[in-house]
Structure 1
Amino acid sequence: MALVRWQPFQEIETLRRQMNELFDELVEFNDESRRRKLNWTPTIELKETDENVILKAEVPGVEGKDLDIQVSREGVSIAGEHRHEDRIVEQGYFRSEFRYGKFQRQINLPVPVKHDQVQAEFNNGILTLTMPKAEEARRRVVRLNLANSQHAIPAAESSGTSDFNQQMTRK
């Protein structure tokens, strides 16, 4: 059996190297998360009614002239830029958690819309797009009246209502 001399400084050097690798990984993680925060996209709300699809996008600090909005039958593209304010801080402390830079967001719509009849409103950093549904996407309701006859009566169509009542009598 051979005797091995204990070298405490070599073990300390190994521990120091492992700690440096750990801190390097943490710094890289923080740089990546910082990069992700800088590349932001606006948050949205999407609501479907009987007649329209309503999209609200939150774009705080962005002016209307810095927005590029494109609407097709199947989707919406919102692009823009939140410009950084040039400030000169000569003394004191300055901290900013605002997100600056360009952004782009693609939103798929649940139904086709009439993209040439979109109404847009931009107020207090909230962009609201009201997009009328295409005719084939609107809900159609059929009412059946079987009260007076044993044979089927032709159905009458009515659109724009979600009340689906069938009138039937039992003999």
Structure 2
Amino acid sequence: MKRRGVAEQMFNDMVGTIREKQEELEKAIADYTSNVPAKPMMDVIEDDENIIVKTDLPGVKKGDIKIDITEDSIEISAKFEEETEVEDVNYIKKERRYGEASRMMVLPAKILINESNAKFENGVLTVTLPKLEKNESFEVKVD
């Protein structure tokens, strides 16, 4: 019986130490990555006529979004501003990032730059990029 109590105490001590080290590691990672610009999450969808790029930009104002396109690439940049109204607040956890975020992607096909358009709704930027050459398909009958 006494051995079991000692084993349980050793196990509990190990688990406690692991939890402490995990918290220290999380804090160190947060300190290290807090100044690294975030990469917005992006979906790229292709159909016969368009390439559609959807990017999550929650909390960003429409005027703080910049889209640069070439015939074969897109770069989306956004400014995330920190809330300044809140003063004398004791944060328990602060994970949201502020500053600038940018993402560049090479497109799977060349696009018509002048016919591209973008809309921003509910924190999601949708950029529609018409393809330079449309994919046409036809059915070949087998004899």
TM-score by length of structure 2 reads: 0.73
Residue of structure 2 equivalent to 1:31: 28
Conserved? CA contact 2:116–2:129, under 8 Å: yes
Alignment map for 1:14-163 (pairs within 5 Å): 30-38=27-35, 39-86=37-84, 87-89=86-88, 93-95=90-92, 96-135=94-133, 138-141=134-137
SS state of the match for residue 105, structure 1? strand
Conserved? CA contact 2:60–2:81, under 8 Å: yes
Q: 1:79 to 1:49 in 2, by over 3 A?
A: same
Instruction: Give the gaps of 5 or more residues in structure 1.
Output: 1-22, 142-163
Shift of residue 140 of structure 1?
Answer: 3.1
Whose helix proportion is higher, 1 or 2? 2
Shift of residue 94 of structure 1?
Answer: 3.0
Residue of structure 1 equivalent to 2:12: none
TM-score by length of structure 1 reads: 0.62
Q: How many residues align?
A: 122
Instruction: Give the gaps of 5 or more residues in structure 2.
Output: 1-20
Task: Give the share of equivalent positions with the same residue, in percent.
Answer: 27
Shift of residue 28 of structure 1?
Answer: 7.6
SS state of the match for residue 99, structure 1? coil
Conserved? CA contact 2:76–2:103, under 8 Å: yes
Choose 1 or 2 for highest CA Rg: 1
Q: CA RMSD in A?
A: 2.6
Whichever residue aligns with residue 139 of structure 2, its letter is N
Structure 1 segments (4+ residues) deviating >6 Å = none
Conserved? CA contact 2:115–2:130, under 8 Å: yes
CA distance in 2: counterparts of 1:29 and 1:167, whole angstroms = 61
